[in-house]
């Protein structure tokens, strides 16, 4: 928004300040009104309109599949918006072009004034079915929402950015300035029943409730939106308070004077996160158990590797010793992944760190100390799910072993480079050596070792990718595969919109 406003035509600094205040309040209004909000202004070209800001609701699905921010439209495309920007009067229409779940959307547009001029238009857009649901609600609540919308138009709402988004199952209430409950939703009433209030709380003084209602008094005292985490009788609630004020004086007056009687009431929003917190605690316990299991698996794998080392020392056959050492490195490459999983709650592994550990293990385990082989790592951190990371660890281990065993069988020095590339949808692992190269007529299906067969199986079956060996001044091994999308899990507090 700052970029669009800064290059606009005839806006003053005061206009820009008003736009910023309106924009900061729009997400809260979108949640309470269960509507999409768009802030329009005239563009520099005749008949041109620009979307300065938008806010999509968290309480219902948005009617737009894509962001409308910075979109430029004509007055023919948005005739109602143009009418409001031109004449400064509220207008509405049924929008057949923007349909939500097969039904038309309703567009209501209000002017945004500053110093007697129309500087913008606030469009509130909602699906027809949701609009009908809203109309069936109490007139008290609908008037409170309208009052909140007028406050947003004037840039009068204080502290809207200090509270988080509203949840889908939030329970609204409307309380007047004297503390009497004028409206309480069925969700809110159900929550208070859990505290022992079996009778209706409508018209009851909020000060007579034994529950913690300090968020209401704080909103009255400060005149700003506020939120609080409340614990009552084993219940954990998030309460958000939105003060409602009436513009009876010039805007500059409220900068210097604010009295209690200027606030008409407060919209309270209550969200019960008790069950989600209990589930989160259960997940934490399970996560700790899983980390402990990974830790034990890592220890067991290292114990197996130690036993194999003892066996290798007692074996007189060089071929058998070599096979055992290869098996040890495969086991240790899997142990590296389990070590990362045992140290972190996440199931996402940084492949770059895994590569560095595998190179260290290869340097200590299979690299001939008399040979001067240099390892080079190149790439940025790439985060993969545990299953993909395990397959990649085995593949990198096999490629390193193959390069050391075959590429430098007759050479005492050289370089092995490991490159990781994240191309968005696909990932690439390259292991390049400047060793002897592939034998003439080499065919991977006919001449490939057990290690190469393991790589082919892992790439094809586990990673659903492709594997190629290129003979050019050594061997260039390339593995490409599609990246699985990461899905971060929000905590109950994040899902409920508690501000940090």
Query: Mind listing the domains of the chain with CATH numbers?
Result: 1-136 (3.30.450.280), 139-272 (3.30.450.20), 278-482 (3.30.565.10)
Window from 180-194, 277-291, 370-384 with minimum mean pLDDT: 277-291
DSSP one-letter code for 180 = B
- In whole angstroms, what is the distance from residue 245 CA to residue 242 CA? 10
Among positive and negative, which fits the CA dihedral 258, 259, 260, 262?
A: negative
Of the pLDDT bands very low, low, confident and very high (cuts 50, 70, 90), residue 494 is low
Q: State the Cα–Cα distance between residues 201 and 155, nearest whole angstrom.
A: 33
Indicate the burial class of 89 (C-beta count within 10 angstroms; 0-12, 13-18, 19 or more).
exposed
When mean pLDDT is compared over 78-82, 297-301, 409-413, the highest value belongs to 78-82
Banded pLDDT at 217 (limits 50, 70, 90): very high
Averaged over 19-40, what is the pLDDT? 95
Residue 498 scores a pLDDT above 70: no
Quote the CA–CA distance of 448 and 145 in Å, as a whole number.
Answer: 72
Please answer whether residues 355 and 400 qualify as being in contact, where contact means their C-beta atoms are separated by less than 8 angstroms. Answer: no
Confidence of residue 253 (pLDDT cuts 50, 70, 90): very low
Residue 358 CA: distances (Å) to CA of 95, 174, 329, 364, 382: 60, 62, 9, 10, 15
- The backbone region for 159, taken as left when phi is positive above 0, alpha when psi lies in -120 to 50, beta otherwise, is left
Query: pLDDT band at 346, cuts 50/70/90?
Result: low
Rounded to 5°, angle at Cα 38 from 108 and 65: 105
Using DSSP's 3-state secondary structure scheme, residue 370 falls into coil
| Model confidence pTM above 0.85 | no
192: left (phi over 0), alpha (psi -120 to 50) or beta: alpha
Whether residue 167 contacts residue 271, with contact meaning beta carbons closer than 8 Å, is answered with yes
Could you tell me whether strands 372-378 and 263-272 are parallel, antiparallel, or unpaired per DSSP bridges? unpaired
pLDDT, position 366: 64
Contact (Cβ atoms closer than 8 angstroms) between residue 35 and residue 126:
yes
255 has pLDDT over 50: no
Which whole number is the average pLDDT over 401-421? Answer: 84
User: Could you tell me the pLDDT band of residue 345, with boundaries at 50, 70 and 90?
Assistant: low
| 3-state secondary structure (DSSP) of residue 122 | strand
């Amino acid at each position: 928004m700052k970029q669009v406003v800064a290059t606009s035509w005839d806006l003053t600094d005061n206009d820009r300040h008003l736009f910023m205040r309106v924009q900061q309040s729009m997400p809260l209004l979108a949640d309470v009104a269960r509507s999409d909000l768009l802030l329009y202004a005239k563009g520099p070209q005749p008949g041109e309109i620009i979307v300065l800001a938008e806010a999509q609701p968290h309480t219902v699905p948005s009617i737009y599949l894509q962001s409308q921010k910075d979109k430029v439209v004509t007055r023919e495309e948005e005739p109602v918006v143009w009418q409001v920007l031109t004449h400064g009067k509220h207008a509405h229409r049924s929008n057949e072009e923007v349909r939500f779940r097969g039904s038309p959307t309703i567009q209501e547009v209000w002017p945004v004034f500053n110093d007697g001029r129309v500087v913008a238009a606030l469009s509130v857009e909602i699906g027809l079915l949701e609009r009908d649901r809203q109309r069936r609600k109490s007139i008290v609540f609908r008037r409170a929402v309208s009052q909140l919308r007028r406050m947003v138009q004037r840039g009068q709402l204080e502290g809207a950015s200090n509270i988080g988004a509203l949840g889908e199952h939030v329970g609204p209430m409307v309380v007047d300035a004297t503390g009497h409950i004028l409206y309480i939703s069925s969700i809110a009433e159900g929550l208070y029943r859990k505290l022992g209030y079996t009778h209706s709380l409508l018209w009851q003084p909020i000060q007579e409730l034994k529950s913690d209602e300090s968020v209401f008094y704080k909103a009255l005292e400060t005149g700003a939106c506020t939120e609080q985490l409340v614990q009552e009788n084993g219940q954990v609630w998030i309460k958000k308070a939105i003060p409602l004020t009436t513009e009876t004086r010039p805007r500059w007056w409220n900068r210097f004077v604010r009295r209690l009687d200027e606030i008409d009431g407060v919209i309270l929003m209550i969200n019960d996160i008790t069950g989600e917190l209990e589930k989160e605690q259960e997940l934490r316990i399970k996560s700790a158990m899983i980390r402990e299991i990974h830790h034990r698996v890592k220890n067991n794998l290292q114990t197996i590797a130690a036993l194999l080392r003892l066996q290798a020392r007692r074996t007189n056959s060089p071929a058998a010793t070599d096979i055992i050492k290869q098996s040890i490195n495969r086991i240790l490459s899997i142990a590296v992944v389990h070590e990362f999983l045992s140290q972190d709650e996440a199931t996402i592994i940084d492949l770059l760190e895994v590569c560095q550990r595998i190179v260290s293990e290869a340097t200590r385990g299979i690299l001939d100390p008399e040979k001067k082989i240099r390892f080079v790592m190149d790439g940025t951190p790439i985060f993969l799910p545990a299953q993909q990371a395990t397959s990649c660890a085995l593949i990198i281990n096999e490629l390193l072993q193959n390069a050391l065993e075959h590429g430098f069988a007759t050479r005492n020095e050289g370089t092995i480079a490991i490159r990781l590339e994240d191309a968005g949808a696909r990932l690439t692992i390259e292991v390049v050596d400047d060793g002897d190269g592939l034998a003439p007529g080499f065919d991977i299906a006919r001449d490939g070792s057990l290690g190469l067969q393991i790589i082919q199986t892992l790439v094809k079956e586990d990673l659903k990718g492709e594997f190629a060996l290129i003979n050019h001044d050594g061997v260039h091994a390339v593995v490409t595969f599609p990246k699985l999308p990461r899905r971060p899990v929000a905590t109950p507090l994040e899902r409920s919109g508690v501000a940090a």
